[in-house]
């Protein structure tokens, strides 16, 4: 029988996390409202060049105001026993998770195999786990994908229709992309190239050309814009800028023939796992995946988020710079050039930005409450759109 240490009303696990943050985002972290993770700052320092802030924090998992329910020890024991697991839950890990601690990822110390247990900590995360399971199931059954299924985590057992929502999965051995991409040696470039080649392979195996109609525009543009619109006050300049962006992209895409196929939807280093040598070993968190997604959005997201990590900047900062590049290098100078496609550089960047920030807003409530995060990642980009850069 698996054992699970419990103290008081919540499971507590402490870990050291190094996050490379811009000053604006750091300020947002320090002044933001309470979230389902209590953060105790243990060390803070500034490193030159670039005034990159490094926050070393200890995180304690607990139930917050808007959190879902952490399972009881008995429920965890029952889930592991049902799957035939003999082991110990070791605590919150630093495994990739696109929603941070909206989905808690617990390492299972089992003598026979490496496992992780995902638990929906916030209500929105329940839908994320369900979408993740559905997309992976459909992709693994799609014969066009061929051997690509080897990169998907294998689910041993899940409980997604009752509280708490959980998923017990085989752990993909390797190094998280968010940690690997900030390295100083050549490994990060090999990792980037490996990730780019893998997603392009999936795209090429599953792509087909479609004509852009109202339904596709709604999924790619109108629905994300509606999410962003909901965080602004009526009459604000941001809403005017959003309408301009929506009209610009819709006018450009309507009626065009564009290749679509299986996309991850949030293809960023935090959702990638690599071998020590930099070869892609696994891709996690498929909740935003689609069999008819815009292919260039995946490659643009990879480039932009890699640049964000390596430059220790916010995503919005990188996007603003990319929109103003006259002759953009791939991903703002990161890795190799993405494959050519029907979307212009500006269109690909804007669509990747739109998807990335709306995913953050829909997966967890904490971004909606952070005015500083929004100022950098949303308002700043909209100001560039308003200027017509």
Q: What is the pLDDT of residue 29?
A: 41
Q: What is the pLDDT of residue 91?
A: 56
Q: Which residues contact 362 (CB under 8 A, 6 or more apart)?
A: 124, 227
Inter-residue contact 314 to 22 (CB < 8 Å): yes
CA distance 309 to 180: 10
End-to-end CA distance of the chain: 60
- Degrees, nearest 5: CA angle 256-349-178: 135
Inter-residue contact 34 to 67 (CB < 8 Å): no
Closest alpha carbon to 330 in 354, 296, 355, 356? 296
Give the relative orientation of helices 295-311 and 345-363 as an angle to the nearest 10 degrees: 80
Q: Which residues contact 320 (CB under 8 A, 6 or more apart)?
A: 380, 381, 384
CA distance 147 to 142: 10
Q: What is the pLDDT of residue 196?
A: 94
Closest alpha carbon to 280 in 386, 381, 187, 382? 187
Residue 94, CA distances (Å) to 100, 178, 270 in order: 9, 10, 10
DSSP label of 376: I
Q: What is the pLDDT of residue 219?
A: 93
Residue 243, CA distances (Å) to 72, 232, 249, 298 in order: 47, 13, 10, 24
**Alpha helices (runs of H) in the chain, residue ranges in sequence order:** 23-31, 73-82, 123-141, 177-180, 187-206, 214-217, 223-229, 237-253, 295-311, 315-323, 345-363, 371-374, 380-387
CA distance 349 to 329: 12
Is the dihedral angle over the CA atoms 84, 90, 92, 95 positive or is it negative? negative
CA distance 55 to 40: 10
Closest alpha carbon to 103 in 53, 36, 27? 36
CA distance 355 to 381: 13
Inter-residue contact 73 to 4 (CB < 8 Å): yes
Q: Would you mind telling me the total number of residues written for the chain in this entry?
A: 389
Inter-residue contact 157 to 286 (CB < 8 Å): no
- Domains of the chain (ranges; CATH) run 176-387 (3.90.1200)
CA distance 22 to 90: 31
Q: Which two tokens stand for residue 312?
A: 């220790």
DSSP 3-state assignment of 75?
helix
> 104 pairs with which residues across the strands?
119
CA distance 215 to 292: 12
pLDDT along the chain (389 residues), means of 10: 28 30 42 32 27 25 43 73 69 45 72 79 80 92 92 85 80 90 89 95 94 94 92 81 93 92 95 95 93 94 93 91 65 45 85 92 69 85 80
DSSP label of 115: E
Full strand arrangement of the beta sheet holding 16-21: 16-21, 52-61, 37-47
């Amino acid at each position: 029988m698996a054992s699970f240490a419990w103290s008081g009303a919540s499971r507590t696990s402490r870990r050291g996390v190094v996050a490379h943050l811009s000053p604006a985002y750091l300020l947002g972290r320090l002044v933001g409202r309470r979230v389902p993770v209590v953060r105790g700052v243990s060390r803070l320092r500034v490193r030159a060049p670039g005034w990159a802030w490094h926050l070393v924090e200890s995180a304690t998992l607990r139930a917050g105001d808007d959190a879902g329910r952490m399972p009881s020890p008995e429920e965890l024991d029952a889930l592991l026993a049902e799957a035939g697991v003999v082991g110990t839950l070791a605590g919150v890990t630093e495994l990739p998770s696109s929603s941070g601690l909206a989905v808690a990822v617990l390492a299972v110390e089992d003598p026979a195999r490496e496992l992780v247990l995902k638990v929906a900590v916030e209500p929105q995360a329940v839908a994320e786990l369900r979408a993740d399971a559905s997309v992976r199931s459909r992709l693994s059954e799609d014969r066009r994908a061929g051997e690509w299924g080897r990169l998907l985590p294998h689910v041993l057992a899940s409980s997604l229709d009752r509280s708490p929502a959980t998923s017990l999965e085989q752990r993909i051995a390797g190094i998280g992309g968010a940690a690997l991409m900030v390295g100083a040696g050549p490994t990060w470039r090999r990792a980037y190239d490996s990730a780019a080649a893998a997603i392009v392979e999936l795209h090429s195996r599953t792509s087909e050309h479609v004509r852009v109609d109202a339904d596709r525009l709604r999924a790619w543009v109108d629905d994300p814009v509606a999410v962003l619109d909901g965080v602004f006050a009526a009459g604000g300049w941001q809403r005017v800028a959003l309408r301009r962006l929506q009209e610009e992209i819709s006018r450009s895409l309507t009626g065009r023939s564009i290749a679509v196929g299986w996309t991850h939807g949030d293809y960023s280093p935090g959702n990638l796992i690599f071998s020590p040598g930099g070869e892609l070993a696994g891709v996690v968190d498929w909740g935003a995946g689609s069999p008819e997604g815009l292919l260039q959005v995946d490659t643009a997201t990879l480039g932009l988020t890699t640049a964000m990590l390596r430059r220790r900047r916010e995503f919005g900062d990188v996007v603003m710079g990319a929109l103003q590049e006259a002759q953009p290098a791939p991903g703002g100078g990161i890795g190799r050039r993405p494959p050519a496609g029907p979307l212009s550089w500006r269109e690909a960047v804007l669509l990747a930005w739109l998807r990335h920030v709306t995913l953050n807003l829909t997966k967890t409530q904490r971004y909606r409450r952070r005015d500083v995060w929004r100022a950098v990642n949303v308002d700043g980009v909209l100001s560039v759109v308003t200027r017509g850069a």
